[in-house]
Every structure is written in C-alpha cells, then in structure tokens.
Structure 1
Amino acid sequence: MRGFPRRTGRPPRTGLGRRSLRFRLVLFVAVTMAVVCGAMALTTVVVQRVYLYEDLDQRVTDAAERSQGGLQRRPGSAKDLGFLNERGQPTGTVAARFVDGRIVAAESVTEDGHQRTLTTAQRAALDGITPDGSLHTRTIPGLGTYRVTAIGGDGVPVLAGLPAAGIQRVLDRLIVVETVIASVGLAAAAAATTTVIRRQLRPLGRVAATAAEVSQVPLDRGEVAGLTRVPEADTDPRTEAGQVGVVLNRLIDHVESSLGERQRTEERMRRLLADASHELRTPLASIAGYAELMNQGDEQISAELAWQRVTAQSARMTGLVEDLLLLARLDEGRTLQSVEVNLATLVAEAVWDARAAGADHGWRLALRLADGHASVVGDQSRLHQVVANLLTNARLHTPAGTQITVSVETTGGECVIRVRDNGPGIPPDLLPTVFERFSRGDASRSRAPGTGGGSGLGLAIAAAVAEAHGGRIHVESEPGRTEFTVVLPRAGTAPEAGPRPAQGL
C-alpha cells in the first residue's frame, strides 16, 4: 500500500485557460470602455454642434436684421449693399437684395474689409431662399458652407449669411482632442484592468492547478491519502475564486473519504475471503485426511470413528457456509419473514437451551414488561439466532462459574434485550471491531475447556439480523462486566413493510 504525500513547490501551470479568460475579460472591459467613450465623445460633439449652430443662427439673424436696418437709413438704388462697409461686419459675411423675389445684388466681405460681388454661380447657390426668416445651409462655390436667412416683413427684403467653416474646424479639433484623450484613457484603463484581472485571477489559477494536480494522482490503485488541497488563503468565501476553492476542497475531502472507505471495504472483503478460506480449509483438510486413512485401511482408526469425524467436520463446514449465505442474503437486502413474535417466550426458550449446554455457568432471566407483553414483528428463527449467538458468545468466552443475566424490557415503542456477564471483559482494542465478520477474542478472553473454536460470525450475524429488523445492537465492556444490548421496534411501531433490509459490511 502506498500513499501520496502532499506536494509542495510551484503548482503546474494551467496557462491556457487563465490567459483565455483574462484575454476575454480585458477585451470585454476594453470594448465596453471604448463604446462608452465613443458614446460620450459622440454626445459631446453633437451637443457642441447644436450649440455652435444655434449661436451661428442667432448671429445670422442679427446680421440680417442689422442689414435691413442699415438699408432703411441709407437712400440708394435697389442694388445698394453699402451697409456692408459699416463697422462690425464679420469677414466672409454675404448679403443680397431682392426685387420681386429675385436676387438683384449679392456681395461678400473680404478679409481686407472690402466688398466683392458674387459671381453668377455663387448667386445661383442662393436661389430659392424666400424672405420668411427661415434658416438655410448652402454651399457657395469658392466661399464654402454658409448659414443664410432672408427677412422681409415691413422693411426692405434682404439676405444675410455667415460662413460655417469655423464651426466645422472647432468640431474637427474637438474630435481630435477627444480621440487622443479617449485613446490614452483606454490604454491606461486596459493596463490597469489587465493588472487587476491578473491579480484577481491568480487564486483561480492556483485552484485550477490544485485540481490539475489531483487529477494526475492514480486514484485507481494504492492507498489514497494526503491529496493536495487549495491553500487557505485561496478559500475566502467572500470572493468568487474563494468559493470555488472551498467547494473544490470539499470535493477533494469527499473523494478522499470515499476512496478511503472503498479501500477499507476492499480490505474487509479480502480479509473476509481469507478468513472464510481458512475456516473452510480446516474441515476440508480433516475430511480429506480421514478419507485417506479409510482408503488405506489404517487399523489404528476404526471406520465408525472416521465417519464420526467426517460427519462432524462436514456439519461444521455446512454451518459456516450457511452463516456466510445468511450474511450475503442480508447484504443483498432480501426481506425476512414478517410475523408477530413474543420476545419474552423466545428469550426464555433460548436461555433454557443455553443453560442445558453450559451448566457450569450461572443463568438468570429477568422480564421487565411495562404492559405485560413484548411483541415484535419479524423472523422468529432469525431473532432466536440473535439471542442464541449472544448467549453462546457469553458462554464460550467466559470461565466456569460466570454469572450470565438475560433481561427483556419494554420502553415506549421499543423492546430491549440485554445479555450481561461478569466475565473478564472484551479487550479495548477488540471492542470497535467486535461485530465485524471473523472477529475473535479467543486470545484475550477465557474460554470454557473443550468448547472448540468458533467461526467469528456469530456477533456479525446478530448485528445484521437486528439491523434487518429495524433495530440496533451495541456492547459495553470492562473487566467484570460485559453487556450486549439489542433494541427492536415493538409490534405496531415497526415499518409497515416488515423488517428492513440489512446494510452492507
């Protein structure tokens, strides 16, 4: 048998999964931040554009009103645009006059403050604008995009326009600045996010490394013990990775305990097979020996004696096989017979039988029945076997003169059988395994001379039958006092389907 010690050192890397998860998290955060920054930048540009155009529209309207007022104060022809020479006219301002809905004069203010007449193509870009005060966006060849309006009312109809190129330049610069700021912010955020995510995923990586290390342990052979656990620092239930660590440790504990129980079961089965083989080999060897002597015609042994020994060993082997068969059937969960059994009568008969077989012991029977009867539902022959096995065990493992007291009690919904003796007691190291199969105490407890060796199945059968009837059995022992207690449900309180199947080994 070999174990697997707890391993130390750096755990094996599980980089693929970690990098994949880290990459996805960083990518998700980066995309999210990019979307958020893009939405904020777009919103800022849209709001700034609306604000700038509202301001431009107001200036265009003011320019048109100012131009109309200048014409009213200036005498001149219908093509007079002299008001453009007045101070305060912005560079690039366009003005025009209408006659019968047609533009008859159109000029713009140059950078040096003079007026320049618009060409026919440039004037054509202003066609279709009526003096109703509405605002329009027009692209004038050679001058660019303009925001224009025309007003009439009670005054002289006049058109005025201001260039929108400044607004576009402001918006372009704003987009560039926001792009630079967003890029720097995204890069910094990505770096910080990568660092934080890497740090937060380290415990998860160690948990994965622990799982990978456990998966490499050959669990199909040998004694499984000391499996690697997730470090305590990585089992903080307040974090997601810690919760995974706690669950993984719990799973490893369960696997280790289950495999340990399987190992113990296999050991018990191997010991059971070895003990059964040993028990069967002894009578078989005896039968074979006597048969050989009879075949050789040995005069030192009579045929009658040989047949007696062969018959005795055959009976012993038959009893052992029947006991093993009974335990196997109980292990399979086969249902026992279900009838009402009077325990007081059954125990009394068993005590009389034991007294006849062990006259050198003191026997005492005590009935403590609260309502005058102690009935249970079960298999009468098997319950008799339980009591007989306990009495035989007390008789064989105690010296002559030992006082054996058997009592039957009723307490509430239970019937209790107690078998107590004042013999030497059961050794403490044997007490935990006294109900296991082929468990013997011959080396430690006194035995009556000439009784012969038992198979070590009596107490195991008693425990299995008691459990099959929905009851339980336990023992308390010390020098001078050993007491076996069998507790069974009384009739009327047992399960409707009768005795329940016994459990395994």
Structure 2
Amino acid sequence: MTGTRTRPRRRPRATRTRLLLLVGATLVVVCGATALTTALFQRAYVMGEFDGRVVNAAERSLGGAALHPSSSTYLGFLRDDGHPSGMLAARLSGDGKVLSAAVVMQDAPPRDLDAAQQAALTGLRADGSQHTRAVPGLGAYRVTVLRSGGVQVLTGLPTADVENMLGRLVLVEAAVAAAGLVVAGSVCAVVVRRQLRPLGRVAATAAEVARTPLGPGDTLTRVPAYDTDPDSEAGQVGAALDHLLERVRHSEELVRSGEERMRRFLADASHELRTPLASIAGYAELVNRGTGVVDPVLAWRRVSAESARMTALVEDLLLLARLDEGNPLRTARVDLAALVAEAVWEARSADSGHDWQLELPLETQALVIGDAPLLRRAVTALLSNARTHTPVGTRVVISVEPLGDHWVIGVRDDGPGISPTLLPAVFERFTRADSSRSRADASTGGSGLGLATAAAIAAAHGGRITVESAPGRTEFRIRLPRAMESGPEKGADADVRAAALPPRPRRQLVK
C-alpha cells in the first residue's frame, strides 16, 4: 500500500517581500493601463488629424477633376504643385469602378497604378467616410471618396509615416513607463524597508526575550522607547510588547514574592508547631522517667495547654487555606450589633484589666449577609489583638456604624500604637508586634495569624479591613456590605439577632 505523499508546505514570504511584490504588481498594472490608455488616445487623435488631411486632399482633387467633367479619366490635377509625395487619386464610375488612378511621385511625374493596385481601390462609396486599404506595392493608405455632380474622385494618403510615428511614441512611452517602474519600485523598496525597520527591531526583541531563560537575576530585554510611538502601527506593536514584558516582569516578581512568602510561612508554621510539640515531648519524657521532678498533674496541664495551642494554630491554618481556595460560605442575615455585643461581653469576662466600651447604632439592626461564626471570629481576633498588645488600663472602644452602603466595625484603643515599620505588613501571616506594642511575655502572644485571619474573612465577605495607628490611637475597621432590608436568606435557619438584648443607646459602657 503506497502512502500518501504530503506536499511540503511553502515557506511564507517575509512581510517586506510580500509588500514589495504587491506594490510592484500594482505599479505594473497601473502603468500598463495608463500607457495603453495613452497610446489609444494618441492614436485616435493622430488618426483624426490624419483623416482631416485626407479630406482636405480629396476636396482639392475633386476641385481639380471638376474642371474637366467631360473626361472621366482626367488626373492632370496631380501634376499641380502642393500635392504630398505618395498621394494617390482615382476617377470612379457611378458604380464605384476605378476608371483611372495615379500616385504622386517625388521629383517625378505621377505614375499610373496597375490593375492589381486599382482593384484594391474598387468598391468604395462616395459617402465621405475614411477607409484603410492595402495597396500592393505601395502599402497601407487612408482613402475617401467625394462626389460633385457626376464626378467621383477617390483620394488617399499613405499611413506609413503616421504608423511609424505612433510606433516611436509607443516605444518612448514604454521606456518611460519601465523607467518609472524601476524608480517607483526602488523608492517603494526603500520606504517599505525603512517603515518596517521598527517592526523588525520589535520582532528581534521578541525573539531575544523568547531565548532568554526566566530565572532569578535574569533581565528581560525591553523595546526601545523610539519603537513605541503610538502614532504608528509598528510603535503600537512595540508598546504592546513592552507592556507585555512589564507584566511578565511584574508577574515574575509576584511569583518570587509568593514563593518567598510561602517559604517564610512554612518556616514560621513549622516553628510554631515545633514549640508546643517540643514542650509536649519534654513533659511526656519526664513523666515516663518517673523521677518525681515534675508533678504529673502539672505536666498534664501543660501538655493539654500546648495541645490546645497547637490545635488552634492548625485550625487557623486550615481556615486560611479554605478561605484562600474561595470555598462558599454558609451565609445568613447577621446582626453585627448583636454579634459585636456578645464578643465584647466575652472579652470583658476574660480580661477585666482593660476599659472596654461599646458603641452601637440606635434602634436598628446592622444587618449583613455572612457566615456568623466567621464574622465573630474576625471580631474576636481584633479584640484579642487589642488585649494582647496594649498595657493594662488601656481603653478599647468597639463600634458598629453605617457608612454608605456598608456597615463598619471599629476597634479603637489608646495604647502605644503600631511601629511604622510593622504597619504595612500587619495583616500578613505570622506577623508579630515588636517592642512598641506591650506584651507581658512570649507565651501571652498569639501565633501571628489573628489579623491575617480577620483580613481573609473580611475579603471572603466582599469587604476589607484597614488599620490606622499613631502613638495613643490605633483603630482597626472592617467594612462589610449592607444586607437588603427584605432580601432572601442564603442557607441559614434563622437570623442572628440581638433579641435578648434590651434597647441600647448610641454609646454603651460594658461593665
């Protein structure tokens, strides 16, 4: 069985070559059409002028023949001066038969035409129209027949000189057209080459970028500024490529930054998990030895505490992972006022050393669509952050207030503030406060995931969290979209409301 032979694909021509071929073909067609039109017009004009000369000669011959109407063969008028050399004249009968014919010779008497030559002139009518006849031995003639009374005279002039002149004109026009094509083609080649040169440089830049390995420290070649002119198509391509390279560079930086954050995240998470694991392993080893150095009850309490700490850290990491994946939330209509009030009561119960204050909206519910446990966790994280990183006696004000089509949860304290160097990274994972935020000891600090978790929860609800800090005032604000007053619930059994709370004033001090 013979396989089908595949025809090799033709290599595409370069844009420059295709443009030159297209322009060249267009020029050839235009020049050819122009030359042909000009030649036809010139021929029609010259032949029209020549026919006028033929008519004039015929009228003169008819006038000479009319002087001798009785002689049907008289051609003596050809001997008069003024007749051009080569002109022929003939006397015709009524039915167009040639009776006599002669041709004017240069420096010699007129010569009679023979029978064959006369036969070539037979059959013409005296209608004043011009005809072309080939006369044997004399060549092509332009002839016409005029009649006056009973006299009919045929007169003709040779077309050789006219044809030669038209031929020379055609040759001159062809030479001019060819020269024009060469000049125009050369100019077009130069123009096309110059106009496509920026595109060639852009293509060279793209090819060089394609060959450049993308690795740490590698720099991508950029398109020169003079090849990014938006007023030209090549400049637009160059600008687009330059913008694409900038985005590639930015994406590469984001990838490297993400990899660096991931490495740091894994290192911090490993460190946070290793600390309680080491403590648990140490107490377990001491209890197993039975040396009596450590009370088993105390050891068990420490193991339980470290286990809870490790469990909380793992839960925070799993929650952040779920939020990063964009998993759908179990949403319902949540009253932020009730949720915040409960969180503040719990914070007050856990820590009486701070001055906790609560500000809620008057006689209205602060409704949002969200996951109530997650929102409570975000608020708790902010309260825990204020309790952990501010000294005893600090006043912490928690508020819920409307702002346009959002509700804003604010947590404000009058503590020492956040260091300006730490402030930009305060919502990054495993970020901890430095000495500018008071901490009792290392064990009282969090894992560095609280604020990151709060920021991720706010983002998952279509909101955002911000912070402003200065010595004596630090405020965290969570903005969440309002819920429609009569909108449908989304997957919850009931609203989270403050039904058990009494009517509250604008500012309420929690005791």
Q: Same fold, TM exceeding 0.5?
A: yes
1:477 to 445, 469, 484: 469
Which of 68, 74, 78 is the aligned partner of 1:74? 68
- CA deviation after TM superposition for structure 1 residue 287, in Å: 2.9
* C-alpha contact 1:137 1:145 (8 A) present in aligned 2: yes
Q: 2:379 corresponds to which letter in structure 1?
A: V
The residue that corresponds to 2:499 in the other structure is none
Hey, what does 1:178 align to over in structure 2? 173
Alpha-carbon displacement from aligned partner over 1:69-92 (angstroms, at most 9, x marks no partner): 211213664333222111111111
CA contact (8 A) 1:395 1:448 kept: no
TM-aligned CA deviation for residue 169 of structure 1: 0.9
Q: Which moved more, 1:443-452 or 1:251-260?
A: 443-452
Match of residue 238, structure 2, among 233, 245, 249: 245
Residue 157 of structure 1 aligns to a residue in which SS? strand
Question: 2:134 maps to which residue?
Answer: 139
Rounded Cα–Cα distance in structure 2 between residues aligned with 1:476 and 1:488: 18
Distance in 2, matches of 1:159 and 1:181, equals: 41
- The 3-state SS of whatever aligns with 1:258 is helix
Q: How many residues are treated as equivalent by the alignment?
A: 480
Q: Does 1:63 align with 2:22?
A: no
| Structure-2 change in CA distance of 1:494 and 1:335 (3 Å) | farther
Aligned to 2:89: 95
Q: How far apart, CA to CA, are the structure 1 residues paired with 2:291 and 2:55?
A: 144
Alpha-carbon deviations, 1:165-200, whole Å to 9, x = none? 111111111112112222222222233333333332
Q: Which amino acid aligns with 2:151?
A: V
Secondary structure, counterpart of 2:123 in structure 1: coil
Q: Equivalents in 1 of 2:23, 2:273: separation in Å? A: 74
Q: In the alignment, which residue of structure 2 is the partner of 1:366?
A: 359
Distance 1:128 1:493, change over 3 A: farther
The answer to whether the 8 A contact 1:341-1:377 is kept is: yes
Cα offsets for 1:184-232 (capped at 9, x unmatched): 222222333333333322322222232223223323x3266x5333222
Q: Which residue of 358, 365, 374 maps to 1:382?
A: 374
Does the CA contact (< 8 Å) of 2:286 and 2:293 recur in 1?
Answer: no
More moved, 404-413 vs 416-425: 404-413
Q: Does 1:227 align with 2:230?
A: no
Distance change >3 Å, CA 493–CA 173, structure 1 → 2:
farther
Code of the aligned partner of 1:57: D
Please, which runs of 5 or more residues in structure 2 have no aligned partner? 1-10, 492-511
Amino acid at match of 2:367: S
CA distance in 2, matches of 1:498, 1:435: 29
The TM-score normalised by the length of structure 2 is 0.86
Query: 2:324 aligns to what?
Result: 331
1:407 aligns with 2:399: yes
SS at match of 2:444: coil
Distance 1:45 1:497, change over 3 A: farther
Q: In the aligned structure 1, how far is the partner of 2:488 from the partner of 2:256?
A: 36
- The aligned residue for residue 393 of structure 1 is 385
2:155 matched to 1:160?
yes
Paired with 2:294 and 2:486, the residues of 1 have a C-alpha distance of: 56
Could you report, residue by residue, the CA deviation over 1:362-409 in whole angstroms, capped at 9, with x for unpaired residues?
Answer: 222233x14443233322211211111111111111222322222222
Tell me: CA distance 1:253–1:497, structure 2 relative to 1, closer, same or farther (3 Å).
farther
Match of 2:102 in 1: 107
Matched AA of 2:427: F
- Within 5 A, what are the aligned runs for 1:48-59? 48-59=42-53
RMSD across aligned positions (CA) = 2.6
Q: TM-score, normalised by structure 1?
A: 0.87
1:151 pairs, out of 146, 155, 175, with 146
1:47 aligns to what?
41
Q: Is contact 2:388-2:445 (8 Å) kept?
A: no
- Which range moves more in the overlay, 236-245 or 425-434? 236-245
CA distances 1:418-443 after superposition (whole Å, capped 9, x unpaired)? 21122221111111111111111145
Q: Structure 1 stretches of 5 or more lacking a match?
A: 1-15, 500-505
